[in-house]
Every structure is written in C-alpha cells, then in structure tokens.
Chains A and B, each alone.
Chain A
Amino acid sequence: MLRVKNLTKVYEDGTVALDNVSFEVPDGQFVAIIGLSGSGKSTLLRCINRLIEPTSGEIWWNDVKLSHISGEELRRARRKIGMIFQHFNLVDRSSVLTNVLSGRLGYVNPIASILKRFPPEDIERAYANLERVGIRDKAHNRADELSGGQRQRVGIARALMQEPELILADEPVASLDPALAHSIMRHLQQINQEDNITVLCSLHFLDLVQQYSTRAIALNKGQLVFDGRPEEIDDERFAEIYGREAERIG
C-alpha cells in the first residue's frame, strides 16, 4: 500500500509543482496519472522514489516512510521500486544485457558488481526477462543500436530485474508510435496482473488511460483534481482536469 499525505514540492525557483497532494494506492492497482504538461506528474512520481526531494508531507510504502529515509535505507527501499522513463534512460554505450543486469545493483555484492560480475542466477533472470519482453536476441547489442520500442522493453526488463513491488512509469509511451505504445502498455498491464505489482503510470492519452488503468488520478497545477475510475471522466470532468479551452480528441 502506497500512502501519500499532504505532499508538497516547491522548486528552488519558487514553482509549486505539487500542492498538498494526498491519496492512497492499495496493492495491485494500475493507476494512471493524468494532467496537462507541467501539472506535476513527473514531480509526483520522482518524489515517491526520492529522485526529487519533497518539500513537505509524507510518503509511505507499507511501513517505510519513504519521504524521510536516506542512505542505505533509501537504497533498500528503492530497489523494490522499479522506474520506467519516457526517454528510456538506458546507458547507450553499454550492452542490453548490462543495462538489464543493472536492475540488480541494489541486491548484489557491491564489489563484484563494480567488476561487472553478477551471480549466474541473475544472468539467467536477465535473459528470462528479455525473453518476456521479446528481445532476447538483442542481449549483446549495444543499447543505442535498438529502436525506440525495443529500448523501452529493455527499460521494462531492467525494472523487472528489481523484483519490484511497485513500478513508477513516467510517460512510458510518449516517445513511441501508437502501435508500439499499445504493445508497451500491454506489457505493463501483464506485469500488473500476473505479478500483482502496483503500477503508477503517467499518461497523456485518455484512450490509453481508459484501456489499461483501473484508476485515474488527475493533477492540475500541482493539485489533485480528480481521483476515480477512468470511465468517470466525462466531458465535464475533462474540462476540470485539462481546462475549459481544451478540446477532447480521440
């Protein structure tokens, strides 16, 4: 269970990116986070695994106070939280296999890992996860030799290596064409349903939201303006979330 209480983030330049946001996510939900560009979606996701320091408020993952831990404890919490990025964030000059294996860094012996040594079972797991996302044959290519869709699959495989309990996906399909977008979303859905991993996923397209998520949370200028089932977003709600001038497409 993820609990976010009165979360506020004010950037150093004074931008209020999150304004007193509170919500709870029971295990196993697929939550879509929606909102205009600049509404604070990325900030919210990054506060949860502390890539960004919250200004005030609390974040709890089960009985761990994510918002207040640091050092070793933070690392132990992070390894249970997978993250998938819009721009994939692979290490271009490393191989696909190395990129996937790096998902184990929170678990393995630090000294062995610096020498790029991983236990055989991790290597097997890496191949299995690549198999699962359908690119096992690319294991020994350099990451920058892959297409966008393939790169995002590497990103998913890397997150799966963490044996996560929670996956944060920040616009995972915004850089992909619609066909690929659906394939990536299906992978996430499968992970959510088969492995019972909670997914928080920010999305731009409402049709994707309605097709894949079980719940939607909407932000507008850092404030939570909607929290409910995706089907409930009618024209009235839409205008509240995206503003009066916005026009619904798709």
Chain B
Amino acid sequence: MKLSTWQQSYMNRRSNSFRGLGPLDSSSDTGIKSPSAIFWLILHGLCCLISLVLGYRFSRLFFLLLFSASSTNIYTTPFRSIAEITTKPPPLLDHTLHSPLLNKTASSSRVVVGRHGIRIRPWPHPNPTEVMKAHQIIERVQLEQRMQFGVKAPRSVIVVTPTYVRTFQALHLTGVMHSLMLVPYDLVWIVVEAGGVSNETASFLAKSGLTTFHVGFRQRMPNNWEERHKLESKMRLRALRVVREEKLDGIVMFADDSNMHSMELFDEIQNVKWFGALSVGILAHSGNTDESSLPMELRKENDENPSMPVQGPACNSSNKLTGWHTFNSLPFAGKSAVYIDDRATVLPRKLEWAGFVLNSRLLWKGADDKPEWVNDLDTLDGDIGSPLSLVKDLSMVEPLGSCGRHVLLWWLRVEARADSKFPPGWIIDPPLEITVPSKRTPWPDNPPELSSNEKVVIAGQEQPVKPTTKARTSRSKRSSRSKRKQEARTIDTHASTRHSEQN
C-alpha cells in the first residue's frame, strides 16, 4: 500500500535517528490519513506561523496543556528555557505530567513518560569538603591497588648520600629530599657530611620528616674532582658501617645529592635479592665548552660513534649478565674538569656507585644467610671504585630494570663557582645594605671605579635620579624632559664614562 506523505517524512526523519516529537504525532503504522492527522497538520502549520511571528520556536505543548483537563501537577510553565531555570531560585523543579496517553502505563509505576524538568541545585558548584573526601577515597583505593598489584611485602629502603656544605647543596639536596619524601615505602636516610655535621644540612634533614642518620666525616671536601670522588667513596663506606652497626634491614641504594631519581626506581629495587645493578643515565653536560673548541677530527668522531651516555649492566639475549656498559670518556680526554668549579665537562668514573643496590644483610656481621660470594665489609677500605669490590663472583650480580634496558636514574655533577657566596641557611638577615651593581645596569650616579663591596655614596651633587634599567634606552627621553635637563647632561657623561669603563 502506498505510504502517505506523512509516513514517508516520518521514515526519513527516522533515518536521521529522529526520536519523534512525542504523542502529538499520529501513529505511523496506520496508512490512513485520519481526521486527527489532518488536524495535527493544521496545528503544526499554525504553530510554524506563530513561531515566525514571535521569532523563536513555539512549542505545541502549550496547546495541549490549554486543552487537557487532567494535568493537575503543573508547577511551572512547560516551555521555560534552561537559562530561565538556572536563574530562578526555587530549589527543585518538579516534572510536568504530560499527555492523556498516560492511561496506558501501569498504575503503580512512579516513572512517567514525557517531558521532565532538569533539576539543578541552587549552587551547582563543588563543595570543598566533599572534594577532600573524594581525594581521601582515591588515596585509599590507590593504596589498596598498591597492596594488591604492587610489590608484595615491600622492604624498607636505606638511602646513602654523601654531601657537604656549598652553594649548590640546597639545590641538590632539596631535589633528593623531595624524591625520598614521595617514596611509598619505609625509608632510612643516611647522610654523611664532609667537614663534620653542620646546621645547614641538619635543617634539611629536619624538614624532610624522614628517619635520618646524620654522620659527620672529619675530612673536608677537596676542590678537585679526582679527590672528591675518592672521598665520596670513603664516606659511603662509612655509611655502610652505620648500616652494619645499627643492623638496619632493607635495601641499600646510593643517592648522590646531585642525581635525579625516578619513582619507578624505588619500585624496581624492591626486586633485588642480594646485589643488583641498574642502568644510570650519565648527563655529562658540556659546561661552557663550545662545540667549536673541539678539533674537527674529534667532532666527526663524535658524530660517527655517539657515545651512549648510559652506565650499567649489559645482558645477552637470554637476559643473563654478560658485561658492563661504561661511560666512554675518550672524547673528553684532556678537556674534562679538574677543579670543582671548572667550566668543563665533569666525567663520571667507570662505574658509579649510584647504579648499584644491595641487600643490607650483606653487610651484617655474622649473618647466616649471607651468600659466600660476598666479601666482608671490614676487608674494604679506602677508595674502592664501586661496590663491586664487595662481590667475589661477578656473575651473581642481578641486572634490574628489565636487564638494564630501563634507565631509572640520572647522574649529574654541577657545582657553583669557587668564589660564590650564599647566605647561611639561605636566610637574608640582617637585610642587605650592600648593593652589588650587576654588569648590565649602569648606575649613573656611582663613580665608575666603585668596587662591589664599598658603599655607594650619593653625594649631593645633583638630585638623586632613580637608577633604572631603562637608563640606556630612555636616555633620549630623559634628555627631553625640561626639569631634568641639567642632570641628564651630567648623567649622560657619567653613563658614557661608565660604559667605556666596563666595555
């Protein structure tokens, strides 16, 4: 039977996932154009005309509500826009019942078909107490996840850090401290300080809130790298003796204060049984050496064989330890830093301490379950290049981080100039009186021969002009101002002489 135009248009709309305008449409199953269909068509046309006049879409619901007698639950007018809803104060909107077709629904259902209001509470914004509660829930869920899928029976981590007081100590130690504060396992931090226990370091340890052992080492830190590496080894051995004395139980790792550790590192070292090795990314920064200073041949060589800056275990295809990747220091021969504040590349040693972790029981005296391939700690003294000296049988070393393929920590050595000063405790007290002119700001009223530590005396020559960084650029501007023309001229001369002095 031929489909009516009404039904056809309905079908077309269905193909656009149309869901209909509600009970106002006649049933699409009937092919006969009933008088009611014609009536609705006329009403539809009327509504279109009204919409044209009014300028917005006019809902036919209005007519239905006008003519229907059974709707007793109307609290709000039906075609209120959402904007209106949000501005009105009443707490909840009730849904408007709709259409006499409801007779067909089961009488005991409280769910009604039709148009409902959109409920918006008076202040639809987050409540801070609830946000906090939600975060606590999230934390609890994550803790449960860690307990179920993370490391079972995690052991405590014993971190050994050699340090000494210098300008960059605050930078380095803050980084390590924050990393350690984030570790989700029990932690003991052994800090060995060259030059004895100091308040600077002690204040850091107190801020961290971790269990710490602050050990003083009587020797002062030398100012060249060679000696510094040797002293650091001795300091670490001192820390290992602390582990033995206190019978600390856990996994010993070496966190140098300028290194950077990822959080996955602490999860990975939980897998060590006795002695493990990790891959360390070596960040041998070039300091101030330009590329142009390197001879041409060496640069070409670098391009052909870029040295992989990773130190760590090397494995064969069956994931067994077969050797070691060490840092290739040949390209830097003769150009590496010797003194601590040299502007040259600082080179690591063959294998850095940071790439090794060990079970603290290896260090205990007379532990029964200690394997036989371990040297006793007392036999080691002085400068041992890496903790591998503890191990008699190198094949027993466990490669961690999927056999050294994951780099979980980075080695870096950065120190300040030898003459750099910093306020003790990084607290400026008393307030600075000394003004130190920086190179780029010409201070026009200062005589050019002023040195950094002398007080600047502004004699009553001219009115003190506030020195600004804009001095150079606004010279022309200032000269144009009539009031200060005189000063400007003198300023100019001063500025120019000062420039000539500095450049």
Q: Do A and B bind each other?
A: no
Q: Which residues of B come within 8 Å of A, CB atoms?
A: none
Q: Which residues of A come within 8 Å of B, CB atoms?
A: none
